[in-house]
Structure 1
Amino acid sequence: MATGWAGDGAVQDQIDATIKDAIQRARSQLPTGPGLTHCEECDKEIPEARRKAVPGVRLCIRCQEAHDEEQGNFSGYNRRGSKDSQLR
């Protein structure tokens, strides 16, 4: 199906690139190295079970939830924005 200047498969390429970017961003945020015994935000002790379950853990559960909520508000790139503007 011809889509103007875009080549065949361009939409799928955009989707693939968006997924690839999201995977790279998620992997870059994974903790590395030895885990901490105390939260780096609030200095509360991190339970041993959490340290074993999450290698490289740096935050207690409460601080991790707050961090995840902040990250959830970040949507990353909106690749559709440029396409939508071209259709108008």
Structure 2
Amino acid sequence: MRAPDLFDQAQELEELMRAEAIERSRWHGGACSAVACECGAEIPEARRRALPGVQTCVDCATAMERGKRNRGSFDAV
């Protein structure tokens, strides 16, 4: 078996750093979730735990996502 060259070592380091970054983003360590959405609806605790740093209720998040999809499409004029 050959010794790892510089590119192999760089790839291993990149994979390790990526895995660590993903893990940090999952356990965020301080992203503060909102208790209530801007629309006034309460954001359930289960949603705040599942999505650290969440700022919108499900209805508003869904509406924003639909808006993003609609802006990306072209309507025939």
TM-score by structure 2 length?
0.51
Q: Secondary structure at the match of 2:36?
A: coil
Aligned amino acid, residue 32 of structure 2: P
In the alignment, structure 1 segments of 5+ residues that lack a partner are 1-31, 76-88
> Which residue of structure 2 aligns with residue 43 of structure 1?
40
Question: Please, what is the CA RMSD of the aligned residues?
Answer: 2.0
1:34 aligns with 2:11: no
What is the rounded CA distance, in whole Å, between the counterparts of 2:52 and 2:69 in structure 1? 22
Match of 2:61 among 54, 64, 68: 64
> Which residue of structure 2 aligns with residue 55 of structure 1?
52
Offset of residue 43 of structure 1: 1.4
Moved over 4 A (4+): none
What is the rounded CA distance, in whole Å, between the counterparts of 1:69 and 1:36 in structure 2? 22
What is the rounded CA distance, in whole Å, between the counterparts of 2:43 and 2:64 in structure 1? 16
Percent of aligned pairs with the same amino acid:
42
1:74 aligns with 2:71: yes
Alignment size in residue pairs: 44
What is the rounded CA distance, in whole Å, between the counterparts of 2:54 and 2:66 in structure 1? 17
In the alignment, structure 2 segments of 5+ residues that lack a partner are 1-27, 73-77
What is the rounded CA distance, in whole Å, between the counterparts of 2:51 and 2:68 in structure 1? 18
Aligned amino acid, residue 35 of structure 1: S
